[in-house]
Amino acid sequence: MSSEKEVILKEAEITNNCPECFNQDMRLTFFQKHRISRWYYQITGEVTYQIVCNTCNSKIYPVKWTDDIERSFDYYQKMVTPKKKGIKLSKLSFFLIISLLLIAGVLYYLFYTGIIQVQP
């Protein structure tokens, strides 16, 4: 039941010719995936990208890239620094872990002092 969210890392206007409409108004966007659950918040190392022409609103896939678009993409890709991968536990997770540790501690104390005895 976790949901995924793509967070924008870098957005740039590139002035290369669009392969569809030959206009010079395109946007290059880099995204990083984040997973959100009620138990944790995870930043993944997966970085995706998208090039969209602002004039004809078409996505430009790598098959249609020209050499100029590829050079611009390589330049901006070097400038992107993704956030470090990691997991942050939610308050619900911390509450569950602390509750389980507390129950285990109480049971250990009760067995150790002899209040509760295990019969074979």
Q: Which of 59, 57, 58, 41 is nearest to 49 (CA)?
A: 59
Same domain, 65 and 116: no
Q: What's CA 109's distance to the chain center, in Å?
A: 43
pLDDT one digit per residue (tens) for the chain, 120 residues: 678 999 999 999 998 888 888 888 899 999 999 999 999 999 999 999 999 998 888 999 999 889 999 999 999 999 999 999 999 999 999 999 999 999 999 999 988 887 877 776
Q: Which amino acid is at 90?
A: S
Number of residues in the chain:
120
Q: Domains in the chain: how many in total?
A: 2
How many C-beta neighbours within 10 Å does residue 48 have?
A: 11
Q: Which of 26, 5, 13, 14 is nearest to 83 (CA)?
A: 5
Same domain, 84 and 101: no
pTM for the complete prediction?
0.76
Same domain, 83 and 30: yes
Largest CA distance in the chain: 84
Same domain, 80 and 109: no
